[in-house]
């Protein structure tokens, strides 16, 4: 393992969706999430984290020390048959044992090191790991208009359905799509919390890789075409940071390149500007995508 | 107050969860003293000092929105980790088997000013040092980790406040309001007992009583 991350980072991540549903809202019958007041589309932080976890699991094959702790059933790989190095010592104070268990989890599980995890204990819930990486909700650049697409199915599932259809056997289904939207997410990496969980430079490189490639491994009938479009990383010279986060985020601007009255339907309809001239001292701007 | 500080915080969303509504989260109307303390500690904290929140100025109208998400139902039993460390099967949690959909009623577009001071508990009693370090960090946008508004997915932008807090942006009807009983903070010295106080907005300002006066 390489050294823990010593520099504070912020990042701006742009991704788009074409004829798909980036993140369904369980409250609205799986329609794309909308901010009801402004009609901007939303993608939750946990949705993006899930994709990062899935990518790391694919890329690293769930091998030590990049195991993924909160997993999806779909890729239940080779869990059995791997014995772990046991570091447990019986006896000792309970607090020491908890700390040992926490460190062990951080050492083996990428998502615990990165995002943290809550481990409950019998008496008091304090086996918590706070991860260095923090993501906010991704929001679309412009208001979105979700479409509801009705589709037909030429077969039915049960005899009962066939009877009610009187032999026609055709049923209707629905899909919700966003014709096109560009979303912007922002994130933070705390160097101090990285030191606490052992989140290393290799882990950070893997995080950037995951953000850049995760949509390529997440295709499904619901998603349509989703792509990572831009990843701008701000690396501070120090652990504490050298500039306020919001000032750095403002350096990445997204505006319409084409007539703003016509709906955007492609990434080319947007112009992304990265204002390198105004990057404050002590901060390095890195364009990963 | 010789060592009082002011910090302006703002964000798109916030969720200061009411402890009595934790599964389907419902936020308090305004930031709790406990959340304000967490924000100050994210910027600067040393074991020698304790942050004490004096006042919370509510600068923007109180608006709610709802968000429903798929969340994990349970937490990992500690025993699973211990047995894995001894060479058992590695711990894993399968989200499909333990999924809960939870709605959260969260605040929109919030802005606050936190007025606070710190008490020195022991060690280096150099109050000027702590105050200057806090202000230096707040001015430069430096922090131990990015502060957040109740939950980590709602990051807070912060800036050091010089001079007086801006006038409240609350509509006149909301400026003086009884907010009922509100969490003051958790008493870590007494087995994590939560303590409450009667919160009242007066001209958009929530004055926080001393922790000792809060009722458990």
- Using a CB-CB cut-off of 8 Å, the residues of chain B touching A118 are 75-76
CB pairs under 8 A between A and B: 147
Alpha helices in chain B (DSSP H): 33-43, 78-85, 127-140
pLDDT of residue A94: 66
Query: A58, A43, A1: which is closest to A197 by C-alpha?
Result: A1
User: Token pair of A197, please?
Assistant: 């969980």
DSSP state of B30: S
Q: Environment class of residue A88 by beta-carbon count within 10 Å: exposed (0-12), middle (13-18) or buried (19+)? A: middle
User: Of the candidates A46, A71, A132, which has its C-beta nearest B69's C-beta?
Assistant: A46
- Of B198, B188, B195, the C-alpha closest to B215 is B195
Structure tokens at A281: 């001292």
B120 cis-preceded (ω within 30 degrees of 0): no
Region of poorest pLDDT, from A255-264, A276-285, B24-33, B118-127: B118-127
Distance CA A175, CA A24 (A): 11
Stated pTM of the model: 0.83
- The pLDDT value given to residue A87: 39
For position B53, what pLDDT does the model report?
A: 96
3-state secondary structure of A130: strand
- CB-based contact B90 A67, cutoff 8 Å: yes
Encoded tokens for A159? 């005899």
pLDDT 10s digit of each residue in chain A, 289 long?
A: 689 999 999 999 999 999 999 999 998 889 999 998 899 999 999 999 999 999 999 999 888 899 888 776 644 333 333 333 333 444 456 667 778 878 888 998 999 999 998 876 544 445 678 999 999 999 999 999 999 999 988 887 787 777 777 767 778 888 999 999 999 999 999 999 999 999 999 999 999 999 999 999 999 999 999 999 999 999 999 999 999 999 999 999 999 999 999 999 999 999 999 999 999 999 999 999 8
> Any idea which of A237-241, A272-276, B83-87, B183-187 has the lowest mean pLDDT?
B83-87
Q: Is A154 exposed, middle or buried (0-12, 13-18, 19+ CB in 10 A)?
A: exposed
In the predicted model, what is the mean pLDDT of residues B30-51?
A: 95
Indicate yes or no: CB of A27 within 8 angstroms of CB of B76. Answer: no
Closest by CA position to A70, among listed A114, A26, A103: A114
Q: What is the pLDDT of residue A267?
A: 97
Sign of CA dihedral B59, B61, B62, B66: negative
- Supply A212's token pair: 């850049």
Burial call A230-242: b when 16+ CB within 10 Å, e when fewer? bbbbbbbeebbbb
What's the token pair of residue A150? 């009705």
- Tens digit of each residue's pLDDT (9 = 90 or more) over B145-162: 999 999 999 999 999 998
- CB contact under 8 Å between B143 and A36, yes or no, is no
Whether the CB-CB separation of A102 and A142 falls below 8 Å is answered with no
Q: How far apart are the first and last CA of chain B?
A: 27
d(CA A71, CA B179): 41
The pLDDT assigned to A90 comes to 46
Minimum-distance CB partner of B137 among A120, A137, A240: A240
Residues 6+ apart with CB under 8 A from A2: A200, A201, A202
Does B128 or B41 have the greater pLDDT score?
B41
Q: Do B85 and A136 touch (CB under 8 A)?
A: no
Residue B141: list chain A partners with CB under 8 A. 241-247
Per-residue pLDDT at B38: 96
Residue closest to A207 by CA, chosen among A51, A8, A23, A44? A51
Q: Residue B70: what pLDDT? A: 87
A244 CB-side CA count, 13 A? 17
Given this model, what pLDDT does residue A85 score? 37
* CA gap B111, B59 in Å, rounded: 5
In terms of C-beta density within 10 A (0-12 exposed, 13-18 middle, 19 or more buried), how is residue A48 classed? buried
| CB-CB neighbors (< 8 A) of A80 in chain B | 89
State residue A251's pLDDT score: 97
| Residue B107's pLDDT band (cuts 50, 70, 90) | very high
Q: Determine contact: A89 vs chain B, CB below 8 A.
A: no
């Amino acid at each position: 393992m390489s050294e823990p991350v010593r520099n504070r980072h912020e990042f701006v991540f742009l991704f788009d969706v074409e004829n798909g549903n980036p993140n369904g809202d369980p409250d609205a019958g799986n329609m794309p999430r909308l901010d009801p007041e402004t009609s901007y589309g939303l993608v939750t932080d946990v949705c993006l984290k899930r994709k990062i976890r899935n990518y790391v699991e694919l890329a690293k094959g769930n091998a030590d020390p990049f195991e993924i702790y909160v997993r999806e059933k779909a890729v239940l790989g080779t869990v059995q048959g791997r014995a772990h190095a046991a570091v447990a010592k019986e006896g000792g104070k309970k607090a020491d044992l908890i700390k040992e268990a926490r460190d062990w989890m951080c050492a083996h599980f990428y998502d615990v090191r990165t995002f943290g995890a809550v481990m409950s204990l019998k008496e008091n819930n304090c086996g918590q790991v706070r991860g260095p990486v923090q993501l906010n909700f991704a929001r679309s650049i412009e208001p979105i208009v979700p479409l509801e697409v009705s589709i037909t199915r030429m077969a039915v599932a049960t005899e009962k359905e066939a009877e009610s259809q009187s032999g026609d056997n055709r049923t209707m289904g629905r899909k919700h799509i966003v014709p096109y939207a560009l979303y912007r997410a922002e994130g933070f990496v705390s160097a101090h919390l990285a030191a606490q969980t052992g989140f290393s430079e290799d882990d950070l490189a893997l995080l950037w890789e995951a953000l850049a490639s995760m949509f390529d491994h997440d295709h499904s009938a619901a998603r349509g075409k989703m792509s990572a479009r831009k990843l701008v990383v701000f690396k501070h010279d120090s652990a504490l940071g050298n500039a306020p986060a919001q000032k750095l985020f403002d350096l990445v601007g997204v505006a319409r390149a084409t007539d703003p009255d016509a709906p955007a339907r492609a990434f080319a309809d947007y112009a992304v500007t990265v204002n390198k001239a105004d990057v404050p001292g002590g901060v390095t701007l890195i364009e990963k995508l | 107050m010789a060592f009082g500080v002011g910090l302006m915080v703002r964000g798109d969303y916030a969720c200061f969860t009411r402890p009595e509504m934790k599964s389907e989260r419902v936020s308090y109307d305004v930031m709790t003293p406990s959340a304000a303390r967490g924000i100050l500690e994210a910027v600067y904290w040393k074991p020698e000092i304790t942050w004490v929140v004096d006042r919370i100025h509510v600068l923007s109208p109180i608006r709610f929105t709802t968000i429903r998400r798929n969340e994990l139902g349970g937490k990992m039993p500690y025993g699973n980790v211990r047995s894995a460390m001894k060479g058992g099967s590695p711990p894993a949690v399968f989200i499909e088997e333990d999924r809960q959909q939870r709605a959260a009623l969260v605040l929109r577009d919030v802005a606050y000013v936190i007025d606070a001071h710190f008490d020195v508990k022991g060690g280096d009693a150099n109050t000027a040092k702590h105050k200057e370090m806090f202000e230096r960090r707040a001015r430069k946008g430096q922090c131990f980790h990015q502060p957040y508004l109740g939950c980590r997915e709602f990051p807070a932008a912060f800036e050091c406040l010089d001079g007086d807090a801006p006038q409240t942006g609350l509509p006149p009807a909301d400026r003086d309001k009884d907010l009922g009983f509100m969490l003051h903070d958790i008493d870590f010295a007494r087995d994590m007992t939560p303590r409450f106080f009667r919160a009242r907005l007066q001209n958009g300002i929530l004055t926080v009583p001393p922790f000792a006066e809060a009722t458990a």
